[in-house]
Amino acid sequence: MIKYLNEPVLRKYEGKICLLRIDLNNISRLEAVVPTIKLLLKNGIKIVLLSHRGRPSFAKATAGKPHSVDKKLSLRSFVPILSRKLRKRVRFVSNFRFAIIKKEIVKSENGVFLLENLRFLPGEEKNDIKFARRLAGLGDFYVNDAFAVSHRKNASVVAITKFLPSYAGLLMEKEIKSLDAVMKNFKHPFTVIIGGAKISDKIGIIKHFWGSASRRKADYFLLGGSPANTFFMAQGLPVGDSLADRKTIPSIKKYLKNRKIILPSDVKIKRRRILDIGERTVLWYSTIIRKSRTVIWNGPMGMFEKKEFASGTKGIWQAVSKNKRAKIVVGGGETVASLARITRIHTDKNGLIRIKHPHKSAKISTNPRLFLSTGGGAMLEYLSGKKLPGIEALK
């Protein structure tokens, strides 16, 4: 059983130190963990924030210098943002001298500390037990609020739970409960929309939702982004310099001729690269989305950061947010970021999706059946029924 942060738990740890794993990879994820931080503070609990950023390389690490420090991947820049959001000074810990840090935390009154990027230490991604033990020594209990990294076997996500009483934070709780609700009695037609850049991850999704004996069976896979390009390539179509992954072709061959797989009928191209789905495709995909009763979406349809290649993703957002009869889950760092950037759709402070109509500014509709997940890979793995190591570790 996963333990959540309820009243008795919070009371028990008053005056104690919480090691709170969060995900600072993306600003929208930072917003999402603020409620948990505030809840802990309100209950007189000191907090050490644990996170990672990017994938620092260890090429330059030498015997005398155990960790690599890539300034660009430092978490220091989050200190002012966090301090502003919490209306409280957040102290940054740039070294990993745990004994000294511990003394400071114990001394502090209701303090919030942010540790430097844990991936600067090789033990983090190796889920190293010794490193986890040292980390655990900093606090009295552990809370995981980093749903988006729970599919990774990292020391601050998995191994650390061996040494401390461990709980799921508010964001983790919301993710688990909302995603469970979608998968319970899901209805057909069930549509999975896959776009974005990380190719190999996404091909796995098709396999998971293809369904064999399992009930988790999608009826349509609408493809965009690099997954679509990779399918085009597998069909022997010319894709020029488009983002695609030749290595995954053998594993997608078996899906090629299946009617469940739906590929763009037109695309936008610039300098030999396919960078968005075309208008006809948006209309076609929208018809399928409209009649769906379950929709899962990860990965933008095109390079939405450039205005000329944003219309595919924008069109899909329109169709998805207007479908009020379906249970919908949309997740992924860039996918969710695209919502704020290119549409008039936004989330209000209660997490409800609101759609502003361009000419009827007074009329704002909501879609309570649409859930925005902070997870991309983690969300897809969770929905496909896989056990996520970070969540299993909380049981």
Select from 186, 226, 227 the least CA-distant residue to 205. 227
Answer yes or no whether residue 334 interacts with Mg ion by CB under 5 A. yes
Query: Of the two residues 132 and 274, which places its CB atom closer to ligand ADP in the complex?
Result: 274
Answer yes or no whether residue 333 interacts with Mg ion by CB under 5 A. yes
Whole-number minimum distance, CB 302 to ligand ADP, in Å? 5
Answer yes or no whether residue 102 interacts with ligand ADP by CB under 6 A. no
Which window, 28-36, 141-149, 233-241, 293-301, contacts ligand ADP (CB under 6 A)? 293-301
Instruction: Return the residue matching tokens 């799921």.
Output: 168
Query: Of the two residues 56 and 195, which places its CB atom closer to Mg ion in the complex?
Result: 195
Q: What are phi and psi for residue 241, nearest 5 degrees?
A: -100, 20
Query: Of the two residues 51 and 161, which places its CB atom closer to ligand ADP in the complex?
Result: 51
Distant-in-sequence, close-in-space partners of 257: CB < 8 Å, separation ≥ 6: none
Whole-number minimum distance, CB 75 to Mg ion, in Å? 18
In this structure, how many other beta carbons lie within 10 angstroms of the beta carbon of residue 28?
A: 16
Instruction: Return the residue matching tokens 């980093």.
Output: 146
Name the residue with the smallest CB distance to ligand ADP. Answer: 332
Whole-number minimum distance, CB 201 to ligand ADP, in Å? 7
Answer yes or no whether residue 3 interacts with ligand ADP by CB under 6 A. no
Residue-wise DSSP of 154-198: -TTTTGGGGTS-EEE-HHHHHHHHHHHHHHTT--SSEEEEE-SS-
Which window, 87-95, 103-111, 289-297, 326-334, contacts ligand ADP (CB under 6 A)? 326-334
Cβ atoms of residues 256 and 221 within 8 Å: no
Answer yes or no whether residue 34 interacts with ligand ADP by CB under 6 A. no
Site string for ligand ADP, 236-275 (x = CB under 6 A): -------x------------------------------xx
Question: How far, in Å, CA of 42 to CA of 255, rounded?
Answer: 52
Whole-number minimum distance, CB 23 to Mg ion, in Å? 12
356 forms bridges with which residues in the sheet?
Answer: 364
Instruction: Return the residue matching tokens 């169709």.
Output: 319
Query: Of the two residues 219 and 245, which places its CB atom closer to Mg ion in the complex?
Result: 245
Answer yes or no whether residue 56 interacts with ligand ADP by CB under 6 A. no
* Footprint on residues 206-225 left by ligand ADP (CB under 6 A): 225
Residue 305 binding result from ligand ADP, Mg ion, none, given CB thresholds of 5 to 8 Å by partner type:
ligand ADP
142 by DSSP, 3-state: which?
Answer: strand
Whole-number minimum distance, CB 240 to ligand ADP, in Å? 11
Answer yes or no whether residue 341 interacts with ligand ADP by CB under 6 A. no
Contacts from 179-184 at CB under 8 Å and sequence distance 24+?
Answer: 179/329, 179/371, 179/373, 179/379, 179/382, 179/383, 181/327, 182/294, 182/296, 182/327, 182/328, 182/329, 182/371, 182/383, 183/216, 183/383, 183/385
Question: How far, in Å, CA of 332 to CA of 26, rounded?
Answer: 10
Interface positions with ligand ADP (CB under 6 A): 195-198, 225-226, 243, 274-275, 298-300, 302-305, 332-335, 376
Name the residues that contact Mg ion, by CB under 5 A.
333-334
